[in-house]
Amino acid sequence: MVSSLCFSVESGTIIGPRRIGVYGSGGVGKSSLFASLPSVGIKPLFIDVGDGTRHLPVDRITGIALWEDLRAALNSKELLKGYGAVIIDDMTKAEEMAADWVVRNIRHEKGKPINGIEDYGWGKGLSHIYDEFIKIFSDLDAIVRDGLHVGFIAHECIENVPNPEGDDWKRYEPRLQAPKSGKDSIRHRLKEWCDYLFFIGYDTAVTEDGKGRGAGTRTIYTSEMPTWIAKRRVVPGREMPDSIAYERGGVELWNEIFGKGN
């Protein structure tokens, strides 16, 4: 069979739309960070399924109550027209919506009634959620192909990290489905898919008496450490710092990503 596709060979760096994720605790300034995108010339549109932007002067799509609503909004070229970035706020809530869709639409293999994810049997409900949720990546990839940046927000959780060489430890990770087996992990798939994944944390110090204290300052962490997961793409000739001091609504991160030559 002869393919009708036309292929070409390109070389060099390609600068295009980015897939950017940010996670952290509630109120740390995740939505405010994306709301500051206009300072670098990017107009964001929020899909605010988690009601996180109600106190911010941003453009948002409202009325999204179900998973199918979210996917329809992402596929509406008319709604997205005129914007430079689409922000899902937040992915943690979006996952809950996907789980609700599964319960409403996928029957038990033996015809038993389904009232919750656990009714499918051990592990099967998680597989259904994973299979449905990853469809959103195709929706977002289509947006990127249309020239828009994609951003997403997630809440944080603390997970145990297995260490085959010694004691396990704990670290911050996005609060998304992640079974211990690694199978059907939305968290891992999301990290693989995005170009950048940043953790925003409050700065703390441990005093001599072993107590943690903080002054309310925040830091954006751009590279992975034992205490949090993160990810960044390397841009030749410009190395992003491992951490960036952050004041709510600050634009230092965007200057690093979208500055001249990036």
Q: Is the pLDDT of residue 141 over 60?
A: yes
Q: Is the pLDDT of residue 219 over 90?
A: yes
- Mean pLDDT for the stretch of residues 203-226: 76
- Mean pLDDT for the stretch of residues 216-230: 92
User: Helices 186-193 & 124-133, crossing angle to 10 degrees?
Assistant: 20
- Mean pLDDT for the stretch of residues 106-115: 82
Counting every residue, how long is the chain? Answer: 262
d(CA 116, CA 120): 8
pLDDT digits (tens, 9 = 90+) for 181-212: 888 999 999 999 999 999 999 987 655 565 55
Q: Which two tokens stand for residue 112?
A: 């038993």
Reported as a pLDDT band with limits 50, 70 and 90, residue 165 is: confident
